[in-house]
Amino acid sequence: MAQRRSFGRLDDGRVVHAHVLGAGGALRAEVLDLGGILARLEFAGAQGPVPLVLGLPDAASYFADPSYQGIVVGRFGNRIGGAAFTLDGQACRVSANEGRNHLHGGMLGFGRRLWQVHAHDEARLELRYHSPDGEEGYPGNLGMRAIYSIDGARLRLELEATCDAPTPFNPTHHPYWNLAGDASVPASAQWLKSPTRGFLPVDGELIPLGEVADAAGTAFDFRVARTLDAAAASGHPQLDAAGGYDHCLVLEEGATTCALLYSPHSGIALRIDCNAPALQLYDGHALDRQHPGLGRGLCLEPQGYPDAPNRPQFPQAVLRPGEVYRRVIDYRFAAPGPGREWSGVEAALAQA
């Protein structure tokens, strides 16, 4: 029988539930009907279950959270400069929730909305959300499905949507990963590999400047595995501009694996498979102020390009009537063990 538990109430009295997936297996998750939030994820390591994502204690904490912990992001992940765009000749304004800009869907976005539980069993949870015309300023009604499932050591998130009018659409997922399972171990000590061919330089408001910069030989080159600490040590003006890593990595064309991540502390490794053209890398540096004591995690968000509605040179992210948006994010885990050579990590993930 599928398990769920109360996760607290919102200020208006609505009850939020945590829905359990994978109980008794190697991988166990708890997903909230608030924002489709991945609130807990544990993997069986050599010394027992290891928490893999950062989390907050209750529903009210998530609703007030400025860091977007674990949410399904929509309608548009990342930023839209000036909270405005023109679509098919029609000027549109969306909610400005980061200074003058629009971030992760606006004031509430999809991450602070209650979703409908359509189906839930031990291995699968289907959530649905109807975003009405004009919500956060977006045109058209949009129907969204987020389906979480667990199969052995794989967590899958399927995102599907349809609409009745053209609308910018760029959903993503926003967990904070620290595979060490220990807040005292810096998330930047994790090893990261990603097929990056470029990155998007940003201005002081973290809005893309419009060009794709070559990542080769820079702090944004993760084609060879290294820690964020080692990558940042090479220095780059863009790290100063953003206060650290908060940049969109442009992936090699045709890449189906976005990232490999490994904690030499816990010995747990992660492979993220998705056909998205880009991956937002955020090192969680604002968490020190937003949630003191929580520690940091790395956000690795498969997505389209930020500010695409204002950048005709970027791949466009517009959903139109008659189309079905579908994107799958697979999180695959392995336990090659602490302190392994990278070749051993890759070999373990290849079999995950």
Q: pLDDT tens, 152-166?
A: 999 999 999 999 999
Does 1 have pLDDT greater than 70?
no
333-342 pLDDT, tens per residue? 999 999 999 9
Phi, psi of 282 (to 5 degrees): -130, 130
Query: Closest by alpha carbon to 165, among 197, 207, 135, 189?
Result: 135
Residue labelled with tokens 């289907």:
126
Amino acid occupying residue 351: Q
Q: What sign does the dihedral 276-164-324-272 (CA atoms) show?
A: positive
Give whole-number Cα distances, 65 to 59, 135, 329, in Å. 10, 20, 24
The C-alpha atoms of residue 208 and residue 308 are separated, in whole angstroms, by: 9
SS3 state of residue 291: coil
Residue 176, annotated ligand binder?
yes
Kindly state the average pLDDT of the residues 43-70: 94
Q: What secondary structure does DSSP assign to 176-223, as a single string?
A: -B-TT--TTS-GGGSEEE--EEEE--B-TTS-B-S-PEE-TTSTT--S
Residue 79, annotated ligand binder?
yes
Q: Where do the domains of the chain lie?
A: 4-350
Residue labelled with tokens 């997505």:
303
SS3 state of residue 329: strand
Residue 246, annotated ligand binder?
yes
For residue 96, how many C-alpha atoms fall within 13 Å in the half-sphere facing its CB? 11
Kindly state the average pLDDT of the residues 244-271: 97
Please state, rounded to an integer, the average pLDDT across all residues of the chain.
97
Residue 174, annotated ligand binder?
yes
CATH 2.70.98.10 for the 4-350 domain, yes or no: yes
63-96 pLDDT, tens per residue? 999 999 999 999 999 999 999 999 999 999 999 9
The C-alpha atoms of residue 352 and residue 348 are separated, in whole angstroms, by: 7
The C-alpha atoms of residue 206 and residue 346 are separated, in whole angstroms, by: 33
Kindly state the average pLDDT of the residues 254-268: 97
The set of catalytic residues is 174, 301
Give whole-number Cα distances, 7 to 10, 18, 56, 173, 193, in Å. 10, 6, 11, 21, 35
Q: Which residues pair with 127 in a beta bridge?
A: 117, 146
For residue 87, how many C-alpha atoms fall within 13 Å in the half-sphere facing its CB? 22
Please, which pLDDT band fits residue 292 given cuts at 50, 70 and 90? very high
The pLDDT of residue 346? 96
Please, which pLDDT band fits residue 2 given cuts at 50, 70 and 90? confident
Kindly state the average pLDDT of the residues 115-128: 97
What is the SS3 assignment for 65-100?
CCCCCCCEECCECCEEHHHEEEECCEEEECCCCECC
Instruction: Write out the E strands in 46-174.
Output: 48-51, 72-73, 79-80, 84-87, 90-93, 102-103, 116-120, 124-131, 142-151, 154-163, 167-168, 172-173
Does 182 have pLDDT greater than 80?
yes
The C-alpha atoms of residue 135 and residue 130 are separated, in whole angstroms, by: 10
Angle at the Cα of 211 from the Cα atoms of 207 and 213, rounded to 5 degrees: 105
The pLDDT of residue 17? 98
Share of the chain above pLDDT 70, in %: 100
Does 46 have pLDDT greater than 90?
no
The C-alpha atoms of residue 325 and residue 162 are separated, in whole angstroms, by: 6
Residue 19, annotated ligand binder?
no
Query: Closest by alpha carbon to 162, among 146, 138, 144?
Result: 144
The C-alpha atoms of residue 307 and residue 317 are separated, in whole angstroms, by: 9
Q: Dig out the tokens for 123 from the structure.
A: 């291995």
Q: Dig out the tokens for 251 from the structure.
A: 């992936």
Residue 288, annotated ligand binder?
no
